[in-house]
Structure formats: C-alpha cells, structure tokens
Structure 1
Amino acid sequence: MFKEYLQTFQPTGEVVDLFTHVLDDIFNTNDVDRRGRKKQVEAKIEDLKGRINTMDYKYADGGISDENYSRIIAKLNNDLNELVMQHATFAKASPDLNKYMNYSIGLLQNVSEYYASAAANTKHKLVGVIFPEKLTFKEKWYYTTKINELLMLILNSSFSD
C-alpha cells in the first residue's frame, strides 16, 4: 500500500526537464567558477614549486642556515600539499556532480521501485527525506503531518492534475 502511495510521487516530463535544466545550469555556472579556481590553484602550485627551488639554491649556495631552510621548506611543502589536495578536489568534482544529478533524476522518476528494492536502512532514509517529520504506520494506514517542501514543489504539477 505504501509503495502505491509512492507511485503518486511521479513528476511530469516537463518538470523533470525543467529540473534537469536548472541543475545543469547550476552545474555549468559552478563549473566555470570551479575551472577558474582550479587555474588559480595551479598558478599557486607553480609559484610554490618555484619558491622551493629558490630556497634549494639559496641553501646550496650557503645563503640560508640549516634551521631556517628546514622551517621554510616545511611550511612551503605543507602549503604545496594543501594546494595539491584542493586541485584534486576540483578535478574530481565534475564527473561526480553529473553522476549525482543523473542518479537524483532517476530516483525522482522511480521512487516507488527504488523503495521496493531497497534495503531496510535505505528505506528508512528515503522515508525520512520524503517525510521530514514523524511518519506513523498503523495497521494498513500511515499518517504524517508534513511532506518535504522541495519534493512537493517538484511534484506539485503531478498532484494538481
């Protein structure tokens, strides 16, 4: 019976298309920003590598003490490692966002089938997303005071037909 109720959570094709375009627009806007930040990080990485080389030459020429060299190189290497990790997250973000967007749209279109085949803990999480407040099952009936507002906005045209 609950699965049948979830089948009413079926967005129209127009809503799915609009949702896809909005997410795609957000993704592309963020993607442009992400690419810009990625280039900035790449420039900082190159700058730090140059500074490390400069310190190596100064140290080799005796222009800097062992203690100062160790302290400065440790800081520069730490900064470099942080930037390399930032760069890796920028490189990974694009494919992950597309994957999650496609998964979300598929889930939205097939929530009842997804629920039917999910493990118990996944069912619990899905019910928690759809019904953010308490959901009570009693015999063959279920009660709730509220459905997720964002989900209702997406599905609104389906319920108004």
Structure 2
Amino acid sequence: KQILDQIKTLEGKLSHIRDLLSSNQLDPNDFKEMKAEYQGNLERLEVKLSATSGEWANIQPLLNKGLENLLKIDYIYESGSIEQKRNVIGSMFPEKLTFDGIFFRTTRVNEVAQFIYLIKKELQPQKKRTRNEFAHLSAWEVPSGFEPL
C-alpha cells in the first residue's frame, strides 16, 4: 500500500510538471531533469511492487499445503510414526513441554491451536448452571491435562 501511494504521488508530480511545461512555466531543460529523476524513482518503486507481489504469489502454495496438513492433523497423528507424532506435538506446543506425572505443562501454545480450541469451545453448547450449585467452580476451562507454567 505504501509503495502504491508513492507511485501515485510520483505520477501526480509527473503530470504536474507536464502541465507546467505546457503552460511555459517550466524550462524544458528543467523538465527533462525532473522527468528523468521521477521516472527513475517510478521504475524502482514498480520493481519493488512486482517483487512484493511475487512474494505473496510464492506464499499461496505454502498456505494451501499448511491448511491441508492442518485439516488432516488428526489422521497424521493417529496413523503416523513416533517421529510424526513428535512433529505434530512439537508444532502445537513450540516451547518446552513437560510432564510431571499427572499434568502436561508448557509455556506457550501455538496461536493457531489456541484459535482452534477457542472456536471449538464457542461451538459447544453452553452449560446451564445455577449460581448456588456451582458458585465455587470457574466458568473458564483449560484443555484437560494442560496447565500453563
């Protein structure tokens, strides 16, 4: 967006100096110098813009592959080798994961996994509780077996 704004600004300046030249308010030699400068800047910005667009085009296949893998992560875990299971767990819990005999603990959960859990939680029907019966219980639930450090 910033590059597009800069390109529009330079195109506006080029148009303005053409108008000044046509109304004899600008010397032809000055026009040539200014035009060469603006054209050079425009070409550099257009190269930057095309390189940036190319980067996004290269990302699309990676995003598609990542989404495919995410949609079949349960199958990969269930049918995979120990190494594949380790990779799945490592991708969901990118930092140290410890087991104290009862609970798993980690300092950080992958953001995508957090969003999936949040969406799943929102889609589940809400429990109807009376205030007196469950006043001592928290309404917020942590995934079973996981506890932040």
Higher relative contact order (CA 8 A, sep 6+): 1
Place the TM-score, normalised by the shorter chain, in its bin: 0.3 to 0.5
- Find the structure with the greater CA-based Rg: 2
More helix by share: 1
TM-score between the two structures when normalised by the length of structure 2? 0.41
